[in-house]
Homo-oligomer: A and B are copies of this chain.
């Protein structure tokens, strides 16, 4: 039941609580760019997210170069942003300490 697409009002409300995240243009998805001290810290973040992703069976799309990690979250089964994406976004923000 958590994989249905969030109603607009819930999504707006959830994004209010996730100030670093924004809607992706031309896709039903949300994104955030993280910047870390160095590659070690960036990949450490990715490793912790990867374990969480396996646990949730919900995986990010992400690009990394050195200390930057650019994340896009969407739920294919829901054809849009679901509660799983909000949960993952919150988890990432907690890890990144922001």
Contact = CB atoms under 8 A, between A and B. Distances in A.
Interface of A: 39-40, 43, 46-47, 50, 53-54, 59-66
Given A59-B65, A61-B63, A61-B64, A50 B54 contact: no
Contact of A59 (B53, B54, B62, B66): B66
A34 B23 CA distance: 28
A43 B50 contact: yes
A53 B53 CA distance: 23
A63 B62 contact: yes
Contact of A62 (B47, B53, B64): B64
Contacts of A47: 43, 47
